[in-house]
Structure 1
Amino acid sequence: MSGTQSLERAFLLLRVIAATGQQGASLDELRAALGCSQATAYRLLQYLRRQGFVRGAPQRGRYVLGYELFALGAQAGNASALRERARLVLLRLAQRFGDTFFLLVADGHQVLCLDMLAGQLPVQSYSGTVGGRIPMGVGQASQVLLAWLGRGERNEILAHNAATLRLDYGLEVQRIAASLPSVRRLGYASGLVDKRLPGYTGLAVPILGADGRPLGALSCALARARMTDARRETLAQMMRKEARQLGQT
């Protein structure tokens, strides 16, 4: 087995373990997912355990992600300390409005939830939790991130995600693209209704760097019935103010 193949299988093993959550994955499940011999799966598993990327689950014979991944994750994507600086912003917004607020960043063809702070009211969201990913094009954070990207980059992302957006979310890329000029003009996005979470809406604003490119997005999620015109305007005003300060520091 080549070094590249071993590396690919190790990454796949980590993803399979991550998908099992607190229950963890057994050696047989990992072997089946990797399509390799039990000896190969065991060898990869033990190497990852020695590095701290995998540890034993409470249930004997099962494995969960190790704490070393948490330590690396705390640093990943935070070279500009954006997550660190945005934490107090999320706290202020959640305390004022009672809604759940998110910090999201573009990551290739996806949007990654870098941080979130739950409000007083339960809410469903696309990303689900910190570290959750959604296809670029889904949700209001995607809209603002796409709106401030160059046309070529934006078109490539939407073309790549077109099938997933249409089949899984009921979103056509033409509809998403047509909404972006309005997002640029208003300075915020309210999201497009899709078949996954039709009862929820939100609002997102871009965090722009000195070069005008998006560093990330501040977003909130709430039940559609609670999003009055007055609430939307107040949210947009406060979130734009916070985003401008984040982009300047």
Structure 2
Amino acid sequence: MARNIQSLERAAAMLRLLAGGERRLGLSDIASSLGLAKGTAHGILRTLHEEGFVEQDPASGRYQLGAELLRLGNSYLDVHELRSRALVWTDDLARSSGESAYLGVLHQHGVLIVHHVFRPDDSRQVLEVGAMQPLHSTALGKVLSAYDPVAHSEALEAERKPYTARTVSSAEDFEAVLDLTRARGYAADIEETWEGVASVAAPIHDRRHMPVGAVGVTGAVERVCRAGELRPELVAAVRDCARAVSRDLGAGRF
């Protein structure tokens, strides 16, 4: 059996101590509570401070939880809430469209699939929760890049690999795609990432009207498109789903 890493265990114990006790604790208090030498405790606190997980009050020298830990916690809560709010609506979207429905969020310079509803037929399908998709070529990624400034920057800084002959790779053309996405309120991917596959996606906003994710459907191009264009009823269904999830998150009308 693999052994746990002692320094990580001590760091975790330190964060729990700061979360559950007084607002601020001094080095001696922390070391004493955890049974650590002051030098050891100080070394761990210094590392946590450099990473933004703890902050030190300049006047008293006492420590408290840092903003980075709060940001990570809020990120988990946001994704968890987003998925729970979207469950019913994405089920309905897959049922009404007859295609697979996906929920994605920005993660590590790509789109992380946090929920996937299978196409409602008897075909063999693979669950894609946890899979990553590119920002520049997928419908989900274009939506996030169009509405989220962080995703926008990451997509522009990325390589923008041409997956097919239809993939938009140049920065100028990509910006034009994002402008069109914002103007229409949805994004398209017609064989830009996978040959024979098309997708449509729309943005999800929270109560602050901030983009927190995207929802869309994906399927064979001959089903998703008609005469080379996305079927209007599919676009409408995806946008209605995105609005419904956004309303559940408190976004109101938009």
TM-score under structure 2 length normalisation = 0.59
**Residue 106 (structure 1) aligns with:** 106
Following the alignment from structure 1 to structure 2, what is the Cα–Cα distance between the partners of residues 123 and 238? 28
| Secondary structure at the counterpart of residue 190 of structure 1 | strand
Of the three residues 178, 181, 184, the one matched with 1:180 is: 178
Residue number among 187, 203, 225 corresponding to 1:189 in the alignment: 187
**Any unmatched runs of 5+ in structure 1?**
1-44, 49-74
Give the aligned partner of residue 8 of structure 1. Answer: none
Aligned in 2, Cα 1:189/1:209: closer, same or farther, shift over 3 Å?
Answer: same
Q: Identity, % of aligned pairs? A: 20
Rounded to whole Å, the distance in 2 between the matches of 1:77 and 1:136 is 19
Give distance in 2, aligned partners of 1:237 and 1:104: 15
Q: Establish whether residue 46 from structure 1 lines up as the match of residue 7 from structure 2.
A: no
- 2:139 matched residue in structure 1: 140
- Paired with 1:231 and 1:112, the residues of 2 have a C-alpha distance of 26
Shift of 1:178: 1.4
Asked if the contact 1:201/1:223 (under 8 Å) is kept, the reply is yes
The higher radius of gyration belongs to: 2
Provide the residue aligned with 2:93 in structure 1.
93
Within the candidate set 161, 164, 167, 1:166 is matched to 161
Structure 2: how far apart are the matches of 1:106 and 1:209? 15
Asked if 1 retains the 8 angstrom alpha-carbon contact of 2:102 and 2:115, the reply is yes
SS at match of 2:207: coil
CA RMSD between the two structures: 3.0
2:198 match: 201
3-state SS, counterpart of residue 129 of structure 2: coil
Q: How much has 1:120 moved relative to structure 2?
A: 2.2
1:230 paired with 2:232, answer yes
Asked if the contact 2:199–2:219 (Cα under 8 Å) also holds between the matched residues in 1, the reply is: yes
Q: Which residue of 2 aligns with 1:17?
A: none
Residue 76 to residue 241, structure 1, CA distance change in 2 (3 Å):
closer
Summarize deviations over 1:35-63 as a string: whole Å, max 9, x none: xxxxxxxxxx7136xxxxxxxxxxxxxxx
Q: Indicate conservation of the 8 Å contact 1:188/1:203, yes or no.
A: yes
Q: Deviations over 1:113-159 (max 9, x none)?
A: 0111101245989xx61001123223100111111123xx4553124
User: In 1, are the aligned partners of 2:118 and 2:125 still within 8 Å (CA)?
Assistant: no
Counterpart residue type for residue 183 of structure 1: T
- Counterparts of 2:176 and 2:190 in 1: how far apart (Å)? 11
TM value normalised by structure 1:
0.60
How many angstroms apart in 2 are the aligned matches of 1:124 and 1:191? Answer: 20
What's the offset of the Cα at 1:168? Answer: 4.6
Q: 1:217 aligns with which of 191, 199, 214?
A: 214
Match of 1:117 in 2: 117
| Cα distance between partner residues in 2 of 1:189 and 1:123 | 27
Paired positions, count: 174
Counterpart residue type for residue 176 of structure 1: F
